[in-house]
Amino acid sequence: MFGRKRPVSDFNAEIEAHLQLEIERLKEQGLSEQEARAAARRAFGNVMHAEERFYESGRWLWWDHLCQDVRFGLRMLAKSPGFAAVAILTLALAIGANTAIFSVVDAVLLRPLPFKDPGRLVWATEHFAFGPSTVISADFPAWKDRNQVFEQIAAFGGTSGANLTGAGEPSRVTITRVTTGLFSMLGLQPAAGRAFLPAEGKQGQDKVVLLSETLWRNRFGSDPRTIGETIRLDGAGYLVAGVMPANVRPQADVWTPLALDADIFSAHSPQWMMLAAIGRLKPGVEISKAQSDLQVLTQEMDKEYPPEAAQFRAHETVEVIPLHEMMVHNVRSLLLILLGTVGFVLLIACANVANLLLSRSVVRGRELAVRAALGAGRLRLVRQLLTEALLLATIGGLLGSITGLWATKILRQLIPATLPADVHFDPRVFGFSAAIIALALFMFGLIPALIASRTDVNERLKEGGLRLGASAGTHRLRGLMSVGEIGLSLILLVGAGLMVRSFLRLTEVDLGFDPNSLLLATVERPLTAAFDSQQHSAFFQSSLERIRSLPGVKEAALTQRYPLGPPHNATMMLRVQGAENFRPSQPISVTAISPDYFHVMRIRLLKGRTFGDRDVEGAQKVVIVNESFSRMVFGERDAIGQHIGFGEPSPTWKEVVGVVADAREDALEKEPGPEMFVPYLQQPSFSMTFMLRTESNPLMLAGSVREAVLSIDKNQPLSDTTTMEEVIAKSVAPRRFRMLLLGLFALLALSLAMIGVYGVIAYSSTQRTHEFGVRIALGADRQDILKLVVRQGFKLALLGVTMGVAGALLLTRFLSGLLYEVSPHDPLTFAGVAALLMLVALAASYIPARRAMKLDPIVALRYE
Amino acid sequence: MSTREERERLTLLQGTLDLLILRTLVFGPQHGQGIARAIQQTSEDALLVEHGALYPALQRLEAQGWIDARWGTSANNRKARFYTLTQAGRKQLVKESTRWRRLSTAIGRILGPEAKEG
């Protein structure tokens, strides 16, 4: 039953043999050669028919038909390359966009985490009434030793920098400290050497280190002899135990073990560490059970803390969520919005190609009618038309999938850095692409094919000419499709418009400082056991002097933390002299600065004075606060001369000497919060950033700053040099990227919809050529013809815009998390986009309308 | 492309023609033309087989595995495709002939009286 066993030629030879045998027999009976041949043929019947029947009995007939259809389809496409190019390009763009977004969705949301048995991994954290969500190090031993729900629980934290010295130039590396069981719990194996031993989680044995594969390669040339060597981090020696592969999370250059018997794990320690905890649930344990178990343990711990801690522990709660959810929750909604967006683009593209195919099938009405008249069944016609659609879908789909996968390189930045995932081609992405191609084929292929094949042969052939076969139904369908296209693209444009408005709002934000020509160079001193603050201050002071005198530097200052820079610790422990019961409602950041910081940054001094040369160690402790602080703490009262203390239960009082204007510190979109500034000579810091106001391009000075620092301390690297403009650009980069992405898709949708409207109007005005001719001949004004055609486009646009506005009102609320100071129902955006779409739709119908207007009635009337 | 009606007519003929072909091959291998001639002669020219119709039937029987085909040389030294009855074909022949006999007896009984008169 599979395939034909005999070739056609063999069958033909048999029939030929048959005829010869018969002729010879007849000749024996006395017939002439000619008579015998005729008689043999007569007796045989229709030779062709036998051959044909033999042919059709072949099992691969459908394959032959398919080949025919494909060949024919390719010929038809080649005959109208413009049509084919538009259709294929449209599909490729839409399918490519879908594949690209889906492959990111797949990598981020669908694929399980690349850890051992990821389904049971959970993220556990404590929430406090104020401040960040974290696990206080003193609570962790209780969680680890007394819980009933985890097979294993591990923690990490204290990500910081250290100066790696020894071989070559000193460099800055990031260190993350992990409990010894973390990597094995995640199922992560070292690429070389060994992982941490359980015994190394104790003080005295914790001077071991794991290197990242990247650091091992770049710094040590992947030399296996590095393992077992000792490296120096901030001057202290660490034994290199092994190398971890690149996909390890939490990311760092080096990892060191957390010694669980260290002071920070005691409730009575003067300081704690902020940890993150990951656990593996015992089989069958519910997440809610784990959460209540940890909550109970944490409340039991309350008793162990000193009374001063009662305030901050007052409202703590524990939350346990799946690890995967924790890692992706920032991008989930964005990815789903993008998936919806490209889905819309695909719908529009399909409607467009369906429109194109429909107008073609109408033009080809005569051809189809002739085929039907010659005996082609309806199924055969549908199959022929479907094959053409299939060709378009396949070529467009393949092209789209390839470009889509290529485009994922750009989209990779949507993947959160904490997620060890990368975009790659997997069966799911392939399946998704195939599925949307099939969907597209069904939508733009089957419907037009069914409509076109519903041919009344007689009617078609009678009608003749170009006026063939545009049934009212077909035309209504086409109109409806362009209405849908306009509606969908309006929704996307509104979405993009809202993003653009947000972005503009953001760039107009008053920063509170001048970001132009500012070079930032951060220096982190080794955080060694013997923290000599005087020595650090001296280093920074002489470096600042040296840098100030560099040619090209106008002014320079020091700060512990710069605006929009890395997050910074803040304090909740604020005391105000004369208002002992005052409790701050939010954390207050404290920044150590050099006296001229405000001047260099161009942050306005509102009241009092800035720091001066008098404000040194040993003198009266002073502090400058910002406007928000003054309003929150002192209200209408004058802040100058007040005394405040912070950071300790019984603080030394500091006098408020100045009030400065607010500046955006955490993020452009975040309102400035309360801040305090102290002179760095009174509160030294081991990590400071040089802020340089330069005469020309700031980055040109980076080299001389590095040399200036090295000339003070030859072991001191710069950890980061950048400009303020770069910092700002970086802080808005994700928003900018999202805006461009949505904007791109919306523009794509708009142009597709316009092609659709143009197609419908142009086609229908061609259909009405005869009618227009009559109208003009009967004395209609040419302007009337123009109006007639444009009105049709106007109707479509109005209907589409109405539908789109309704849809957008329903859908834009999903965007609200991505907007900044713009309502999801922003009337300006809605009105602007609606007007734009009406205008473009009218323009698209104006071109065919002008053509109709210029008709020569004589030609038009003959036009049949 | 053949229409449905034609196909229906063919299926009606099919059983009969198949039976006749199988019966003819009992006497040994034969080529298409020979089969046609044999049917015509043994039925004393009562049955006129359109030679062309023979081949789809042969094709079908071959596909069923009831006959085998091989190219060979005819009595007058011509190349021809010879058909042989297979074991399965023999069984099919017995089954079909029994069925046919029963059918014709049954039809004969119904038509009996009139047939004598005619």
Band of pLDDT at residue A555, cut at 50, 70 and 90: very high
Q: Are A24 and B78 an interchain contact pair (Cβ–Cβ within 8 Å)? A: yes
Chain B residue whose CA is closest to A19: B33
Q: Which two tokens stand for residue A619?
A: 């003198």
Residue at A517 is within a domain: no
Nearest CA in chain B to A18: B33
**B contacts of A25 (beta carbons < 8 Å):** 33, 37
Amino acid at B84: T
Most confidently modeled range among A184-198, A376-390, B95-109: A184-198
Do A67 and A55 fall within a single domain? Answer: no
**B90 in A contact zone (CB under 8 Å):** no
**Residue A403, CB-side half-sphere exposure with 13 Å CA sphere:** 17
Inside any domain, residue A238: yes
- Let me know whether A166 and A295 are in one domain: yes
Q: Are residues A235 and A148 in the same domain?
A: yes
Q: Is the CB of residue A505 less than 8 Å from the CB of residue A667? A: no
| pLDDT band per the 50, 70, 90 thresholds, residue A93 | confident
**Beta pairing partners, A574:** A646
Alpha carbon of B22: minimum distance to chain A alpha carbons (Å) = 19
Nearest to A21 by CA among B10, B13, B35: B35
Average pLDDT for A423-427: 69
In a domain, A120, yes or no: no
pLDDT at A530 over 50: no
- A723 phi/psi in degrees, rounded to 5: -110, 160
**Which of A386-395, A405-414, A807-816 is the least confident region?**
A405-414
Q: Could you report the per-residue pLDDT of A224-233, keeping only the tens digit for each?
A: 988 988 888 8
Closest by Cβ to B53, choosing from A20, A22, A45: A45
pLDDT at B4: 41
Which of chain A's residues have a Cβ under 8 Å away from the Cβ of B80? 14, 17-18, 21
**Mean per-residue pLDDT over chain A, rounded:** 84
CB contact under 8 Å between A44 and B52, yes or no, is yes
Residue A518 covered by a domain: no
Residue A854 lies in a domain: yes
Question: Is the preceding peptide bond at A250 cis, omega within 30 degrees of 0?
Answer: yes
∠ CA(B68), CA(B69), CA(B72), 5° rounding? Answer: 140
Name the residue among A428, A423, A427 with its Cα closest to residue A413: A423
The answer to whether residue A459 scores a pLDDT higher than 80 is no
B7 touching A (Cβ < 8 Å): no
pLDDT of residue A280: 95
pLDDT digits (tens, 9 = 90+) for A282-325: 999 999 999 999 999 988 888 888 877 776 777 788 999 999 88
DSSP 8-class letter at A263: G
Q: What is the mean pLDDT of residues A248-255?
A: 87
Backbone Cα Rg of chain B: 16
- pLDDT tens by residue, A699-756: 889 999 999 998 888 888 888 889 999 999 888 888 888 888 889 889 988 888 888 8
Return the number of other C-beta atoms located less than 10 Å from residue A510's C-beta: 10
Paired sense of beta strands A254-257 and A171-178, if any:
parallel
Confidence category of residue B44, pLDDT binned at 50, 70, 90: low
Same domain for A585 and A530, yes or no, is yes
> A45, B31: Cβ pair inside 8 Å?
no
Q: Inter-chain contact A21–B2, Cβ cutoff 8 Å?
A: no
Residues of chain B neighbouring A18 (CB-CB closer than 8 A): 31-33, 36, 51, 80
Rounded distance, CA A531 to CA A685, Å? 10
Specify the range with the lowest mean pLDDT, choosing from A122-126, A326-330, A636-640.
Answer: A326-330
B17 and chain A: CB distance < 8 Å anywhere? Answer: no
Residues A418 and A504 in one domain: no
Nearest to A321 by CA among A279, A269, A383, A282: A279
Say what the alpha-carbon torsion angle A580, A584, A587, A592 is, to the nearest 10 degrees. Answer: -50
How far is Cα A380 from Cα A563, in angstroms, rounded to an integer?
A: 70
Examine the domain organization and report whether A464 and A475 are in the same domain. Answer: no
Is B34 close to A44, i.e. CB distance below 8 A? no
Same domain flag for A856 and A766: yes
Same structural domain, A429 and A502: no
Are both A775 and A630 inside the same structural domain?
A: no
Beta bridge partners of A120: none
Instruction: Output the pLDDT for position A37.
Output: 85
Stated pTM of the model: 0.70
Domain-located, residue A124: no
Domains and CATH numbers, chain B: 9-117 (1.10.10.10)
> Among A16, A34, A59, where does a domain finish?
A59
The reported pLDDT for the residue numbered A808 is 92
In a domain, A201, yes or no: yes
- Residues A562 and A677 grouped into a single domain: yes
**Cα(A477)–Cα(A359) distance, integer angstroms:** 12
pLDDT tens, A616-662? Answer: 888 899 999 999 999 988 988 899 999 998 866 667 899 999 999 99
Residue A453 scores a pLDDT above 50: yes
What pLDDT is attached to residue B115?
Answer: 44
**What is the total count of domains within chain A?**
5
**What are the two backbone dihedrals, phi and then psi, of residue A566, each rounded to the nearest 5 degrees?**
-60, 150
Is residue A3 assigned to a domain? no
Measured between CA atoms, how close is A26 to chain B, in angstroms?
Answer: 11
Alpha-carbon span A328 to A768, nearest angstrom? 56
Cα of B59 to nearest chain A Cα, Å: 8
pLDDT at B116: 44
List all residues 6 or more positions away from A512 whose beta carbon is below 8 Å from its beta carbon.
Answer: A563, A603, A661, A662, A663, A664, A672
Asked if pLDDT for residue A855 goes beyond 90, the answer is: no
Convert A400-441 into a string of H (helix), E (strand) and C (coil).
HHHHHHHHHHHHHHHCCCCCCCCCCCCHHHHHHHHHHHHHHH
- The string of pLDDT tens digits covering residues A480-524 is 888 998 999 999 999 999 999 999 988 888 899 999 999 999 988
Average of per-residue pLDDT across A795-818: 90
Task: Name the minimum distance, in Å, from the CA of B94 to any CA of chain A.
Answer: 25
% of residues, chain A, pLDDT over 90: 28
Among A688, A513, A519, A656, residue whose Cα is nearest residue A577: A656
Instruction: Assign A52 a pLDDT band (cuts: 50, 70, 90).
Output: low
Q: How far apart are CA A508 and CA A366, in angstroms?
A: 61
A565: three-class secondary structure by DSSP: coil
Residues B77-91 have a mean pLDDT of 89
Residue A453's identity, in one-letter code, is: S
For residue A43, which residues of chain B lie inside 8 Å, CB to CB? 36, 50-51
Q: Report the percentage of chain A scoring pLDDT > 70.
A: 89
Average the pLDDT over each of A582-591, A684-693, B1-10 and give the range with the smallest value: B1-10
Same domain, A797 and A847: yes
Mutation test of the interface with chain A: which of B41, B50, B55, choosing the one with the most A Cβ atoms within 10 A?
A: B55
Confidence band for B2, pLDDT divided at 50, 70 and 90: very low
Q: Tell me the one-letter amino acid at A777.
A: A
Q: Cα–Cα distance between B76 and A50 in angstroms, integer? A: 25
Domain boundary among A672, A694, A715: A715
Asked if A56's CB is within 8 angstroms of B80's CB, the reply is: no
Q: Report the distance separating Cα A177 and Cα A160, nearest Å.
A: 9
Of A283, A315, A347, the one marking the end of a domain is A315
What is the band of A761 on the pLDDT scale with cuts at 50, 70, 90? confident
From residue A63, give the alpha-carbon distance in Å to each of A4, A59, A244, A446, B63. Answer: 12, 9, 55, 20, 20
Residue B6 in this model has a pLDDT that exceeds 50 = no
Enumerate the residues of chain B whose CB falls inside 8 A of the CB of residue A50.
52-53, 55-56
Q: Tell me: the pLDDT tens digits for A816-845?
A: 888 888 899 999 999 999 999 999 888 888
What was the pLDDT predicted at A333?
Answer: 85
Task: Judge if A703 and A782 occupy the same domain.
Answer: no
* pLDDT tens digits, A129-145: 656 678 888 899 999 99
Structural domain boundaries enclosing A755: 471-511+726-864
Q: If we measure between CA atoms, which residue out of A208, A204, A269 comes closest to residue A237? A: A208
Question: Residue A47: its pLDDT value, please?
Answer: 62
pLDDT at B117 (0 to 100):
41
